[in-house]
Amino acid sequence: YAWVEKHFGPDFLEQIVLTRDKTVVSADLLIDDRPDVTGKWPAGAEPNPSWEHVLFTACHNRHVQLQPPRRRLLSWADDWKAILDSKRPR
């Protein structure tokens, strides 16, 4: 949690969920370095999670070609705030 607070600020601490099976979480956005996120069970807890999966670039996924509308975050220096803002109600 210290890393999250340092890089994103204290407001994000209340919004962070740490879990092994990401499909059990209801959210607007998932930033993850795994190209295909599935749950603990073969099909995952939720086969169609509610969140948008944004691929965080890492050495093991640089080769992955994303089909629109999927998005990629190149690094934390990339415009991650714009991605968060795109999910906020207007």
30-62 pLDDT per residue, tens? 999 999 887 766 655 677 788 999 999 999 999
Domain holding 81, by residue range, is 2-86
Domains in the chain, number: 1
pLDDT at position 44 is 58
Give the CATH number for residue 18.
3.40.50.1000
* pLDDT greater than 60 at residue 5: yes
Does the pTM surpass 0.75? The reply is yes
SS (H, E, C) the chain: CHHHHHHHCHHHHHHCCCCCCHHHCCCCEEEECCCCCCCCCCCCCCCCCCCEEEEECCCCCCCCCCCCCCEEECCCCCCHHHHHHHCCCC
Between CA 38 and CA 9 the distance in angstroms is 29
